[in-house]
Structures are given as C-alpha cells and as structure tokens.
Amino acid sequence: GCHVTQQNHVTSVEEVSLDGSPREKAALITSSLLLWVFMFPHMELAVLLTLLLCLEAAVRFGVDGRQQWPVPYRRFDHRPTADSYCEALYPFCPTGDRDGRIPYMRDDDVISVFRLQTPVWEFKYGDLLGKFHIMHDAIGFSSSQTGANYTMEWYELFQLGNCTFPHLRPEAPAPFWCNQGAACFFEGIDDLHWLQNGTLEKIGEVTGSQFNDLAQWVQLDNQTGIYYETWTVRSDPSPNSTVWFESYDCSQFVHRTYRKLKELGAKLSSRSPTYYTKIYLYSGEPTYLGNDSAIFGTPALENLAADIRKFYFTFRPHQSFLDFAFSLVEAYKKIVLDKTFYLYYNFEYWHLPMKYPYMQIVYEEVPLPE
C-alpha cells in the first residue's frame, strides 16, 4: 500500500473558533485549559481533571452540546500495520510502488486527467454487478512529455466484505475487524478494463507542478484516512433528509481528489453526467453505544455485547448455502422486523433504529466541481 511520512501540525488558538469542527473546538478548549494552568498553577487537580473530561464530549457533541450530523470521519496520525489474521483474497496494489511513492513530474509537463469507472469485480464477473449499478471509480493520468500513463484508485486492503462486517473469534470478546482502505498508484491504464463495461473519459489537464502538489496531498490523505466505510446512513430518501454518517470509499476518494484538483487550479468537465454508486441505510436518529472496551469490557453491558455479536454472526463469512439462507431470514427479522442495525464507525458502535425502505443501492449524479 501507500506509505507516507508522518507530518506534524500544531494548532494554535488563533486557528480555531467555536464555529469550527469538533476537533477544532477540542483544540481550543485544550489550549485554553493549558493557558489556565499556566496562569493559575495552584488550581485544584480535581477541577482540572473534570475540565479535561469534558474534552471527549466536546469532540463528539461540540461545544454547544449537540451531536454533529453527519458524524465526522475520524483521521489518524499514521497508518497502523495490518494484523496478520487479516488476509486478502486478492493482494492489494500488486503493481504499485511498495513504499507508495508517486513519480515526480516536470513543472512544465502537461498531465491529462481521466475519469475511470467500471463494474466492481469486472475482471471476474464482467458486467454482472454493473447491471445493478455497483461501480468502482478511479482516476487516470497521462504525461505529455514522457507518454507514461498512470492509474490511481482507493479501495479495501482485505476486500469489501471484511470492511463491512467483522469476524467473530472465539478467543476475543469483541468482534474483530479487518478494515483498512488505502490509495494505490501504479503505472499504466488498462483501457479494455475501463472501456468495455464502464467509462474512460478525459476530463481535464493539469501542469506537472499541480500534479506534484496533488501527489503530496494524496500521500497525506492516505496516511490519515485509514479505514473503509461502506454505508451512507440518512433519515429517509428525500433530497433534504439528514445524513447521519457518510461513506468513505473509492468514489469519495475520487470526489476529494477532484475537489483538490479544482483547489489547485484545474478545470474539469465531462461530456456526460457523472454518476456514482451509494449504498444507503435509512434510520431514525442513531444512538451512541461506545467503543470495544466500553461495551465488551463492562459486565453491566453484557446483554448489549451479546446482541451485537449475535447481529454480526448473521453476516459471518464462509457460510454454506443452507446457513446463508437461514442468515438472510435472521437479517430480515433483525433489520426489518426488529428495526435494528449496529453500525461500527470511527471504531465505535452505534445503534440505528431502522426505517423503511431500510436499504437502497442508488446510482446518483454527483457533478464535477465547478
């Protein structure tokens, strides 16, 4: 996968305001507390600890005490080493640079930018998943000076199923997640792969200098955004509904990259509408439950812990046909009849009170940034 060098960022009080993100609010509170300690060194320790305990709530709910929707995707300062228990059916980024390096372009080079889209697992099933609008998205680049072509995509290290549902290991009380996603940059564009059942379209040009700036951003984005999220959760299908949780997948990476290209000065345009796959869950307002240690390490919550494990047992991998049929019935009972779904987001569990139509795969238009 892509390896990136850790970069430090120091946030000063002047950089944040109470109108910022939860992290910015937490940074402001932390800075204020440190200033308070400096000014009043004899302040009671208990008072200081009480104030520090407010930080976690500030990150989640904001200074005004209200939960932020959608819940912000949590970023990290480095990418952890994958657990040896997790194995990929197909190796991640087999032809990409082992250290995730992206080639440097001459500043005066002209780099063509391509929109790439094809059905998920097209190499194995052809257009089968394309008939259900389950598509994979990527971006292509071509250097006018060297003639070299490149593909950049973001996807799961251990396939989609492992990123969507956990493993239940007998020796571990908490469900075990093999969930990481990362950027893959490699030389070449497989024209047949993208054109046969999908899209390969030039949508703009950037200079070599702009491309190099984009490469730095990709590496930072890849280092700090480490896990995949399949579901977008919202209150109902209407256009103005509340979004509870955003997905974090291949198409979201493409959207972020397009926005960064625009920020760098690129002009992008397509001859046809640009559609992307979204998998929606519909629910009432979610309830925060806690992280692994809070739920699976607390005897008072053993019933909740057992219910979460039972829920995910329905979606366990490597089931026989008979077990799979039984699991479908159980999933229907839990999601539709009991109106319950347990979502794992930011390494924390949430309860979703499910609503009709419960789940949809939608192929919706997301225009290129203007």
DSSP letter string, 170-231: TT-SS-B----EEEEEEE---HHHHHTTSEEEEEEEEEHHHHHHHHHHHHHHHHH----B--
Most distant CA atoms of the chain, gap in Å: 72
Per DSSP bridges, beta strands 135-143 and 149-156 are antiparallel
* 356, 335 contact by CB (below 8 A): no
pLDDT tens per residue across span 227-281 = 999 999 999 999 999 999 999 999 999 999 999 999 999 999 999 999 999 999 9
In-domain check, residue 191: yes
In-domain check, residue 220: yes
Query: How much is the pLDDT for 66?
Result: 83
Alpha-carbon gap, residue 21 to 370, rounded angstroms: 25
Among 136, 163, 184, 351, the active-site one is: 136
User: Among this protein's residues, is 136 annotated catalytic?
Assistant: yes
In-domain check, residue 126: yes
The one-letter code for the residue type at 332 is Y
User: Among this protein's residues, is 2 annotated catalytic?
Assistant: no
Q: 18 vs 143, which has greater pLDDT? A: 143
Asked if pLDDT for residue 51 goes beyond 80, the answer is: no
Average pLDDT over residues 132-149: 96
Query: How much is the pLDDT for 64?
Result: 59
In-domain check, residue 159: yes
Asked if pLDDT for residue 25 goes beyond 80, the answer is: no
Asked if pLDDT for residue 54 goes beyond 60, the answer is: no
**SS3 state at 26:** helix
Average pLDDT over residues 328-338: 96
Query: How much is the pLDDT for 362?
Result: 96
pLDDT tens per residue across span 78-136 = 898 999 999 888 899 999 998 889 999 999 999 999 999 999 988 888 889 999 999 99
In-domain check, residue 277: no
* 234, 174 contact by CB (below 8 A): no
Element (H, E) at 29: helix 22-39
Question: How does the average pLDDT of the chain come out, rounded?
Answer: 86
Q: How far lies 320's CA from each of 147, 284, 317, in Å?
A: 49, 34, 9
Among 2, 93, 163, 250, the active-site one is: 250
- The answer to whether the Cα torsion of 227, 345, 248, 277 is positive or negative is positive
Asked if pLDDT for residue 182 goes beyond 80, the answer is: yes
Query: How much is the pLDDT for 61?
Result: 56
Alpha-carbon gap, residue 183 to 139, rounded angstroms: 11
Alpha-carbon gap, residue 267 to 199, rounded angstroms: 19
In-domain check, residue 337: no
Domains contained in the chain, number: 1
Band (pLDDT 50/70/90 cuts) for residue 60 is: low
Query: How much is the pLDDT for 35?
Result: 36
Alpha-carbon gap, residue 283 to 359, rounded angstroms: 9
Alpha-carbon gap, residue 39 to 34, rounded angstroms: 9
Query: How much is the pLDDT for 109?
Result: 98
Asked if pLDDT for residue 30 goes beyond 70, the answer is: no
Average pLDDT over residues 188-200: 93
pLDDT more than 70, % of the chain:
82
Please name the residue that has the structure tokens 């944040």: 16
In-domain check, residue 188: yes
Query: How much is the pLDDT for 62?
Result: 55
Q: 197 vs 248, which has greater pLDDT? A: 248
pLDDT tens per residue across span 292-328 = 999 999 999 999 999 999 999 999 988 999 999 999 9
What is the per-residue burial (b if ≥16 Cβ within 10 Å, else e) of 16-51?
A: beeebebebbbbbbbbebeeeeeeeeeeeeeeeeeb
DSSP 42: T
The CB density around residue 263, as the number of other CB atoms within 10 Å, is: 13
In-domain check, residue 160: yes
* 37, 43 contact by CB (below 8 A): yes
Average pLDDT over residues 27-51: 40
Query: How much is the pLDDT for 45?
Result: 41
Q: Find, among 39, 208, 247, 238, the residue nearest to 112 by Cα.
A: 208
End-to-end CA distance of the chain: 31
Query: How much is the pLDDT for 63?
Result: 52
Structural domain boundaries enclosing 170? 110-230+241-268
pLDDT more than 90, % of the chain:
74
Alpha-carbon gap, residue 110 to 146, rounded angstroms: 10
